[in-house]
Chain A
């Protein structure tokens, strides 16, 4: 019958088990739909997509200014990298703006943050698209050239965190890492 045209009137309202299943499925779909607005207002982890257009050169200039103003030392990345292994270590003021560049193949600069403080983290790329993947927490955001992607972030755990790139960006992609220290 699945393979031949239907001739008899074939409209029947759902009944019995089928009606039961349809009811369960519709209810579940509603629950899932409502969870997202609920979490947006009551949950603490959301991606609001706050972003501003920015020219790569301007973003680089802002980041260099941010580094010059807040540099506290040097971080030597143990992972070999064509751009060099030394990164400025920067400690921004609590509650302030933080700038982080993704480029082939490094996250610039290294950051030192305070537990429990809230920062506005500006992410952008100078070349290709990159993926901001904070490990071992496993928090992931897209980084797109031309867009200043702002995350309002509150570190709640101390330790050493590695930024891994998880958007393909060429042969050195796997070795593109950065650091965030939380004290």
Chain B
């Protein structure tokens, strides 16, 4: 093992050369990738156990938890999944994206420790106070609901810790540029991570604006903030933080499609512009959650829903084309040229990092994206707000999209950073499929039950006496999907933890190959770089996507037209 011998831009920085890629790895960055990734996976497992309990409660036939524990576990699930798992893993991604691709060293070990310890202290505080029954307020903690002050303080600590980590990321980028660690422009993976980090700063500032006065109110020091003001600012945290996930997820798509298939962005200028659109046009005003609220008017709602052009949606539609297009071009250059879809059959479907990425793209786009834009349409929100359609949407963006992409990433992070080959490789190959299928079933169950008016965040749907057998059937689908998704999650967690202890050590050699498509005879690398009509399969797929989108969108307008007139 060639520790400390590799010359990063900063001489004397402990580093090693990766035995698989030949890239230099800063050992400080490696330590914090490990720490943050391990914590992320622990919180994922905690949130996953909670998810199983919730699915088995909303599955009305099973109805497992008592009422107080249902809401407690629902709060716990939201916090652990949407905040803790995602943030810890994203900090790990930031530590990677600003060092290895730029041949740079991490700016500061001390700052990284401060970030990690603040986040961990906050996370433990929040989880403890929820399980102690002192914060049954849901993740959103809408005022006048009030939790124990430790709940808000914990969230503030996690946010401050994350901001500290983001500062370390920016400082690392600055120093790398200043010291000339690399020449030219930063690679798209780093660029995507940078966009995510910028959105994270704006998000966390919203969090500070809303959480600090709520904390001081919970201590009895200041009067209660206005509940409608709280909703407005809180969603500047709540929805924008999910755009951080989207950005990080897309960066992971570019990274993994490159590693597994050799894909490259077909047009760097367009891909990067799309990331900039995320930064500029992600809904600054958190409007999508306030579309049927009092206190904000129709003009405000319509304007803040689309900014006249839906440019952030456009950004996702761009990535939804360029990622598969990059894959198609790479496959065609390798010699898989048959027909429109000949290259699809030859993709490495048994490579869990590839199948995870592909499923993430499809689930996020076809299910998450289409439902999200439709439900976030100002008037259509009347027939969707606070029903199960809403979690039906975000479980296929944050879970089927982001979480699945992050799981796929782990199939390379663990061997390359922890330097151990995966155990039970057969289980790893089916894991993304089980998880993807489970979460899709769960989301279908939620969406259809929600279309029948079943509320989200409700312990029981029999008390009201209005929901029939069809709603119960879809809640059963939700329950089965939840069990299946949890199985996939459990396999993932066991694989990761088991590998850390029992995986075969990689000492300076290449990691065991998950399988990548070999170049056929007659392959010509780079031959299609200027052929703008080589992506026949991708353009067909994206046009099918657009057709599905339009059908779903206008079907919802039709459903809206059938309810009582209201203004």
Contact = CB atoms under 8 A, between A and B. Distances in A.
Interface of A: 1-8, 10-22, 24-26, 28-30, 32-33, 35-37, 39-40, 43-51, 78-79, 118, 123, 127-129, 131, 133, 135-157, 162, 164-169, 171, 173-175, 177
Contacts of B71: 168, 171
A157 B302 CA distance: 28
B322 A138 contact: no
B295 interface: yes
Given A17-B535, A24-B543, A135 B566 contact: no
Contacts of B184: 5-8
Closest 3 CB pairs of A and B: A16-B532, A51-B294, A149-B294
B453 A136 contact: yes
Contacts of A137: 453, 563-564
Indicate the member of A28, A50, A149 with the most B CB atoms within 10 Å: A28
B101 interface: yes
Given A25-B321, A174-B67, 15 more contacts: A3-B23, A6-B184, A22-B270, A25-B318, A32-B306, A45-B564, A129-B143, A137-B453, A141-B385, A142-B385, A155-B564, A166-B385, A174-B459, A174-B464, A177-B463
B292 interface: yes
Nearest to A47: B292
B283 interface: no
B521 interface: no
Nearest to B533: A16
B564 A154 contact: yes
B228 interface: yes
B268 A6 contact: yes
Assign chain B's interface to a size class: 35 or more
A12 B383 contact: no
A5 B100 CA distance: 11
A17 B533 contact: yes
Nearest to A7: B184
Contacts of A48: 297-298, 567
Interface string B308-319: 111101100110
Contacts of B300: 49
Given A28-B550, A142-B294, A44 B565 contact: yes
A157 B564 CA distance: 8
B162 to A, nearest CB: 25
A25 B310 CA distance: 10
B296 interface: yes
A145 B227 contact: yes
A79 B462 CA distance: 10
Contact of A33 (B182, B290, B310): B310
A58 B265 CA distance: 61
A118 B313 CA distance: 37
Contacts of B23: 3
Interface string B535-567: 110110011001001100100010011011111
Interface in B450-475: 451-453, 455-461, 463-467
Interface of B: 23, 67-68, 71, 101-102, 138, 142-145, 182-189, 226-228, 231, 254-255, 257-259, 263-270, 290-298, 300-302, 305-306, 308-311, 313-314, 317-318, 321-322, 325, 373, 377-379, 381-387, 451-453, 455-461, 463-467, 531-536, 538-539, 542-543, 546, 549-550, 553, 557, 560-561, 563-567
Contacts of A136: 452-453, 466
Contacts, number: 315
Given A138-B387, A141-B292, A171-B71, A131 B452 contact: no
A33 B373 CA distance: 11
Nearest to B310: A29
27 contacts: A1-B258, A2-B258, A4-B187, A5-B102, A5-B183, A11-B268, A12-B268, A15-B532, A17-B532, A24-B543, A36-B379, A40-B298, A43-B560, A49-B293, A129-B145, A129-B227, A135-B453, A135-B464, A136-B452, A137-B453, A138-B383, A140-B386, A153-B564, A166-B385, A166-B455, A167-B386, A168-B145
B390 to A, nearest CB: 10
B532 A147 contact: no
Given A36-B305, A171-B67, A6 B185 contact: yes
Contacts of B143: 129
A39 B553 CA distance: 14
Indicate the member of B268, B460, B564 with the most A CB atoms within 10 Å: B564
Contacts of A148: 294
Contacts of B294: 49-51, 123, 142-144, 147-150
A154 B310 CA distance: 32
Nearest to A152: B567
Contacts of B187: 1-6
Contacts of A145: 144, 227
A111 B198 CA distance: 50
A42 B293 CA distance: 21
Nearest to B549: A28
A24 B382 CA distance: 28
Nearest to B182: A5
B301 A18 contact: no
A31 B463 CA distance: 42
Contact of B313 (A29, A78, A150, A153): A29
B112 to A, nearest CB: 22
Contacts of A37: 302
Contact of B295 (A39, A51, A78, A152): A51
A127 B309 CA distance: 39
Contact of A4 (B101, B268, B305): B101
B397 to A, nearest CB: 18
Given A6-B184, A10-B185, A15-B532, A154 B293 contact: no
